[in-house]
């Protein structure tokens, strides 16, 4: 076994439940690292409200430098009532936006899985949603959020959706390469019946497939139909490739499928260093109580390991999460009303045990 591999992680716990859930992610990372013969060194840095309190800025230079020097960034969440009245560059969220920009990450990956055994937690009928396994690939640095001209006009306001061919090409490559490791099927989502920018999207994406990935399947859906299909029959999707605005809306729609925000990880990649964070926010209503679900943070750590090439250990984490949840270790957001609940740290420890040893003997029951 190769004992020389080591990965330096910038750990940005942030605010609210961020520290609690990412601590469990680090626990699980440590456990799989020992089991798979590599080491992980995590160095803690401030971001968001915690950084504002300490330095007066939500993304201090020292944090920026540490992130850019690291192999990957693991983030909790930012924000909370204490800083709600802050405006502009004094908002905790400004720190997160600046971080994403500093890293240059243009591809946002959001896996949404609903295993059969946990389909009962979904707001949709379990027989419709069980077995869902979708990867959303959302373009993150272009589109209508960044297009110009933008702003007020004499009699209204305007925003502009802009994509260059190069921007579409690079995000298409990300989606096809992910599909190669999954079921080989990409659904590209646009609004080509109305928008010129989507017409270009619909020309470029098939060209990239023909030139580089002829073995993969590609189909196109209009975004309105895609939204309906995500709810009607989510199992039909493998990889969903889309732009910034449509991806924002569709991936949040799909985030409802597993039944808790506490289950959804994300990765933002393509730049100098990757950023890995749960989809949820800082959940001030439950912060500091050891009740938050750490699964989203733990699965974000798995995406981090995928990105640094430790794919076997990443799979072990996903296995550990399934094993712990299926064994009945559930935080309050997931438990049925008559089920016993476990704490953040108990679930984290249980996942770590299963992840480090795929078949633990005498596994405890909650």
- Closer residue to ligand NAD in complex, CB, 256/261: 261
Active site residue 53: no
- Closer residue to ligand NAD in complex, CB, 86/177: 86
- Closer residue to ligand NAD in complex, CB, 167/333: 333
Per CB under 6 A, 51 contacts ligand NAD: no
- Which residue among 163, 190, 191, 213 is the active-site one? 191
242 close to 109: Cβ distance less than 8 angstroms: no
What would the x/- binding string for ligand NAD be over residues 222 to 261, using CB under 6 A? ---------------------------------------x
Angle between helix 61-69 and 92-103 (nearest 10): 40
CA dist., res. 175 & res. 266, Å (int):
15
- Residues of this chain, 308-347, that bind ligand NAD according to CB under 6 A: 333
Residue that the structure tokens 């108990």 belong to: 346
From the list 13, 60, 79, 95, which residue makes contact with ligand NAD (rule: CB under 6 A)? 79
Active site residue 71: no
> What residue is closest to ligand NAD based on CB?
281
Q: Which stretch binds ligand NAD (CB under 6 A): 36-44, 75-83, 133-141, 157-165?
A: 75-83
CA dist., res. 29 & res. 348, Å (int):
11
From the list 21, 29, 171, 267, which residue makes contact with ligand NAD (rule: CB under 6 A)? 21
- Which residue among 15, 238, 248, 333 is the active-site one? 248
Per CB under 6 A, 189 contacts ligand NAD: no
Per CB under 6 A, 275 contacts ligand NAD: no
From the list 73, 96, 303, 347, which residue makes contact with ligand NAD (rule: CB under 6 A)? 96
Per CB under 6 A, 292 contacts ligand NAD: yes
Active site residue 224: yes
238 close to 182: Cβ distance less than 8 angstroms: yes
Residue that the structure tokens 């420890």 belong to: 349
CA distances in angstroms from 295 to 87, 153, 166, 318, listed in the order given:
31, 45, 35, 10
CA dist., res. 293 & res. 130, Å (int):
21
- Which residue among 8, 71, 145, 183 is the active-site one? 145
From the list 77, 114, 298, 299, which residue makes contact with ligand NAD (rule: CB under 6 A)? 77
- Closer residue to ligand NAD in complex, CB, 74/161: 74
From the list 33, 67, 78, 355, which residue makes contact with ligand NAD (rule: CB under 6 A)? 78
**Residues labelled catalytic:** 145, 191, 224, 248, 252
Sites of contact with ligand NAD (CB under 6 A): 17, 21, 77-80, 93, 96, 261-262, 277, 280-286, 292-293, 296, 333
């Amino acid at each position: 076994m190769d004992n020389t591999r080591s990965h330096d992680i910038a750990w940005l716990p942030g605010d609210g439940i961020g520290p609690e859930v990412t601590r469990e992610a680090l626990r699980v990372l440590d456990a799989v690292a020992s089991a798979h013969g590599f080491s992980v060194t995590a160095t803690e840095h401030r971001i968001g409200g915690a950084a504002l309190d300490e330095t007066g800025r939500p993304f201090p230079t020292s944090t920026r430098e540490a992130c850019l020097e690291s192999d990957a960034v693991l983030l909790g969440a930012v924000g909370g009532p204490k800083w709600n009245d802050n405006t502009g560059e004094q908002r905790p969220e400004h720190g997160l936006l600046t971080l994403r920009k500093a890293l240059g990450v243009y591809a946002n990956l959001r896996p949404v899985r609903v295993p059969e055994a946990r389909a009962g937690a979904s707001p949709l009928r379990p027989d419709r949603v069980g077995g869902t396994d979708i990867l959303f690939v959302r373009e993150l640095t272009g589109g209508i959020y960044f297009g110009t001209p933008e702003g007020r006009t004499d009699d209204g306001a305007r925003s502009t959706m802009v994509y260059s061919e190069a921007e579409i090409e690079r995000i298409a490559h990300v989606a096809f390469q992910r599909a190669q490791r999954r079921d080989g099927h990409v659904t590209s989502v646009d609004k080509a019946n109305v928008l010129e920018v989507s017409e270009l999207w619909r020309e470029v994406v098939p060209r990239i497939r023909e030139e580089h990935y002829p073995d993969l399947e590609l189909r196109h859906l209009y975004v309105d139909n895609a939204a309906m299909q995500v709810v009607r029959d989510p199992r039909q999707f493998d990889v969903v490739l889309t732009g910034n605005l449509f991806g924002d809306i569709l991936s949040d729609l799909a985030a409802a499928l597993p039944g808790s925000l506490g289950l959804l990880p994300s990765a933002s990649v393509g730049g100098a260093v990757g950023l890995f964070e749960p989809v949820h926010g800082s959940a001030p209503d439950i912060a500091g109580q050891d009740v938050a679900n750490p699964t989203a943070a733990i699965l974000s750590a798995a995406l981090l390991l995928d990105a640094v090439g430790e794919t076997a250990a990443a799979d072990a984490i996903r296995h550990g999460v399934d094993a712990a949840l299926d064994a009945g270790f559930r935080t309050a957001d997931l438990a049925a009303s008559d089920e016993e609940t476990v704490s953040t740290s108990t679930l984290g420890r249980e996942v770590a045990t299963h992840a480090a040893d795929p078949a633990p003997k005498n596994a405890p029951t909650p």
